[in-house]
């Protein structure tokens, strides 16, 4: 999952909770390719991305590190490390995290967060809000991946992103990002985006896609 | 998404919050195929399933109602109706909900929950816990659907479920459930389950799958 159009924790969090976290956090800078943690490492901190991006993934027998999600500025991870598990287990990282380009992450030790998270529901409200949005997007993408041809998946995906963006009409993403997100070849993505451009539905800039005719885009999905 | 092995809100919620919700809830019985709500209906209640199951889906041009998720006892929906949106919008249902078989749902009006949810973080902790588990499962299933052949997807899926179940070794699901969950034909699912049974990895009962050799199952996935 990539973060196109998805709300980010730090943008959703209210004041004064935002300032509270900023006071507790220490910014840490990672260089491109640097590993923050590995699967099964003990999770003892949460973080949110200040600049740059993180890739979350796992290791496969064939290809080694394989990206499942890419998150950019404002997006968080590891908040579960500050919640006590019902069974009292030590929380572990599920995925590896690797910096993409020079990346600054604001990090807070889990022990500094426990008290906050159990006394003020605003933090959990913000976590739950963004996690629910991620889940809703992923549920649609998964369903499309199971049953639709590539061209229709690209159209449905763009329509979902357009809705998530609300009043924004420009999304920062390359054709390679769309191709990674949907697991489709760059050639297929390029052909479909070109056809949509010719029909005046979108326009493609340098690293951006602009929605020119959202009503027409939605009419091209297979949704009612 | 189906609920195999996923933790359910009502099981995860601590006491006395569980009893608190039970006091507020009114059980409502739906007959098979009865519609609870449609997409874009105003969301003014949350519910959790007491018995039976609910199908959540959307309407497609070709096939009409199309199931995206099936949730059973203990699982919740519509909790977002009790949170105030940052922009003050009226919360709307995203998906249609339909009863599968005779289904009893405990329902609570959103206005009765707002005060509780903003004063006690335990409710949000439980919502966030189960939503995060759903997201983690779906992220893996989506990734598998993008890149793997059917047989490997079934093996990876069973291995994920086995891990979610922890000490439980028996999961209640039919071959048709697996086929719906993964969007694969029943023939393919049947062939793969039979091959796994012959190797002693699982055994298939009437509406159940039992994990006989979890280590071997995991070794057959494409994970490291």
Q: Spell out a b/e string for A57-93, using b for 16 or more CB atoms within 10 Å of the CB, else e.
A: bbeeeeeeebbbbbbbbbbbbbbbbbbeeeeeeebeb
Residue range B151-219, CATH number = 1.10.10.10
| Closest approach of A119 to chain B, Cα-based (Å) | 7
Q: Can you give the pLDDT at residue A159?
A: 92
Q: Do B138 and A140 touch (CB under 8 A)?
A: no
Kindly list the residues of chain B whose beta carbon comes within 8 Å of any beta carbon in chain A: 1, 12, 14, 58-62, 66, 68-69, 80, 83, 86, 94, 117-121, 123-125, 127-129, 131-132, 134-136, 138-143, 145-147, 182-183, 222-224
- Using CA atoms, how far apart are residues A182 and A146, in angstroms rounded to an integer? 11
Top-level CATH class of B9-131? mainly beta
Q: Do A138 and B138 touch (CB under 8 A)?
A: yes
In A, which residues are within 8 Å of B46 by CB distance?
A: none
Q: Do A138 and B143 touch (CB under 8 A)?
A: no
Best of B138, B149, B160, B220 to disrupt the A interface (most A CBs within 10 Å) is B138
In A, which residues are within 8 Å of B139 by CB distance?
A: 1, 68-69, 138
| Closest approach of A1 to chain B, Cα-based (Å) | 7
Residue B121: partners with Cβ closer than 8 Å, 6 or more residues away: A117, A118, A119, A120, A121, A123, A124
How is domain A150-219 classified at the CATH fold level? Arc Repressor Mutant, subunit A (1.10.10)
Q: Output B63 or B11, whichever has higher pLDDT.
A: B11
pLDDT digits (tens, 9 = 90+) for B204-217: 998 899 999 999 99
Q: Do B146 and A223 touch (CB under 8 A)?
A: no
Per-residue pLDDT of chain A (224 residues; tens, 9 = 90+): 677 778 899 999 999 999 999 999 999 999 999 999 999 999 999 999 999 999 999 888 878 888 888 999 999 999 999 987 667 788 999 999 999 999 999 999 999 999 999 999 999 999 999 999 999 989 988 989 888 889 999 999 999 888 888 778 888 888 988 888 888 899 999 999 999 999 999 999 988 999 999 999 999 998 77
Per-residue tokens: A169: 């009409």
Indicate the domain borders of chain A. 9-131, 150-219
């Amino acid at each position: 999952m990539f973060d196109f159009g998805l709300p980010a924790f730090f943008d959703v969090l209210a004041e004064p909770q935002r300032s509270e976290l900023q006071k507790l956090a220490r910014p840490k800078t990672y260089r491109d390719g640097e590993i923050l943690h590995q699967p099964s490492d003990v999770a003892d901190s949460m973080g949110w991305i200040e600049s740059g991006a993180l890739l979350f993934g796992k290791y496969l027998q064939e290809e080694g590190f394989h990206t499942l999600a890419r998150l950019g500025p404002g997006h968080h991870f590891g908040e579960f490390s500050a919640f006590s598990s019902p069974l009292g287990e030590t929380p572990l990282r599920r995925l590896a995290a690797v910096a993409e380009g020079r990346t600054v992450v604001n990090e807070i030790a889990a022990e500094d967060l426990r008290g906050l998270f159990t006394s003020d529901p605003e933090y959990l409200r913000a976590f739950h809000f963004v996690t629910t949005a991620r889940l809703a997007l992923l549920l649609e993408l998964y369903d499309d991946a199971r049953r639709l041809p590539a061209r229709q998946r690209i159209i449905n995906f763009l329509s979902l992103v357009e809705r998530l963006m609300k009043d924004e009409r420009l999304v920062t993403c390359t054709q390679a990002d769309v191709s990674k997100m949907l697991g489709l070849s760059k050639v297929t993505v390029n052909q479909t985006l070109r056809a949509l451009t010719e029909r005046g539905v979108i326009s493609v800039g340098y690293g951006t896609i602009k929605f020119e005719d959202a009503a027409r885009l939605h009419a091209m999905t297979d949704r009612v």
